[in-house]
Amino acid sequence: MIGGNDKITKGQNLSLIIASILGVGILSLPSQLAKSSGFNGIISIISGTIISILLVTMYTKLITRFKSKTIFEVIDEILPNPIAKIIDLLFILHYLITGAIIVRIFGDIIRMFLLRNTPLEVTILSLILAVSFITRKGIEPVARLAQIVLPLVVIPIFILFLSLIPELDFTNIYPVFQMNTVDVLKGIKTTVFSFIGIEIVLVSTAYVKNTDKILKYNILSVIFLGIMYLVAFIVVISEFGKEQTEDLLWPTLLLMKTVDVPGAFLENVDGIIISLWTFISIQILSIVLIQSNIVLNKSFKLKEVDFLSMTLLPIMYLLALFPDNIDEVYYYIDLFSNYLGVVIILIIPLILFVFVVITKKGDNKI
């Protein structure tokens, strides 16, 4: 069970869910959808968001059935110990790879926009060490950080998008809603994988003080993210066109570089871009580390130990440096999403959900 000193509000939980997802996906999703779905990307985002809402509904109902217990405690309660430990290890591996991806992309973006001559190792290590201190005091400080950081990131992004509207060519998104089943399905898969991080619901929901209407809050977080993805896709395609978007690695970042701020009080927005991405990276990595700390505590049945996740940092650092270049990074991201990602966000929760419904385990009804 969870102690009373580490509780969060429904609003903080909503911020955690949004902050855990809003990052790598919004950078590359427009490009990936342009390749896989083309103009059907709008349909794919809407469909992928609906599927993600269904996943969050399943997660929330599963966790609220076992009041104040994380997914790791639920697994330990309803499954044999060897199987429970294997699943815990899969989650730890998931967090390690996710953290490595975040810090590697952070390092590459910083090197591209700002510190071109700084070794990648230095940039990555700086982020890891900074975040390790943030997560030492549990999930509540991380949730408060998410509440602060989220507006600082989302509001400037929307302002930058709005400033681009006069120069957008919305004919670039035509033809819209011309269904091509294969393309739409490919895009749905891409969109759902862009919601990786949504599994935080399986952990954070257990820490919410009052779970009344928690499902509504969790669903609102997914809807908000779906709107962000949809706006980013429409703006990027309208600015660059489908063919050029396909050739861009991070079209959303490049889109921000094209902003011409009225009044010219900013000569360029590189500083804003780096600031936003630094905020995002710190927030996502802190959420990943706090989840890894929780799974280690629950798996080994320890009292709250605030430094356990730090034992994973050297492995995360080495994993981040393993790919030779950014192309390899995205190759491994695809492998991770297609295999371990599917297991974590779909297969394990679905099996647990069905098992709990059939056996009627837990205190509350689903």
Which letter does DSSP use for residue 8 in this model? B
Does the pLDDT at position 4 exceed 60?
no
Q: Which tokens go with 32?
A: 């990936």
List Cβ<8 Å contacts ≥24 apart for 353-362: 353/58, 353/61, 353/62, 355/78, 356/62, 356/65, 356/74, 356/78, 359/78, 361/65, 361/77, 361/78, 362/65, 362/66, 362/74
Does the pLDDT at position 3 exceed 50?
no
Give the pTM. Answer: 0.88
Kindly report, residue by residue over 280-306, the tens digit of the pLDDT.
Answer: 888 888 899 888 888 888 777 766 556
**Which spans in 114-180 are helix H?**
120-134, 139-164
CB proximity list for 211: less than 8 A, separation 6 or greater: 10, 64, 67, 205
Lowest mean pLDDT among 47-61, 65-79, 221-235, 257-271: 257-271
- pLDDT of res. 91: 93
CB proximity list for 62: less than 8 A, separation 6 or greater: 71, 74, 202, 349, 352, 353, 356, 366
The stretch 116-135 carries a mean pLDDT of: 83
Q: How confident is the model at residue 2 (pLDDT cuts 50, 70, 90)?
A: very low
Write down the residue that tokens 């998104």 correspond to: 173
Q: How confident is the model at residue 134 (pLDDT cuts 50, 70, 90)?
A: confident
301 Rama class: left (phi>0) / alpha (psi -120 to 50) / beta: left
Q: How confident is the model at residue 347 (pLDDT cuts 50, 70, 90)?
A: very high
Q: What is the percent of the chain with per-residue pLDDT over 90, rounded to a whole number? A: 22
The stretch 201-220 carries a mean pLDDT of: 91
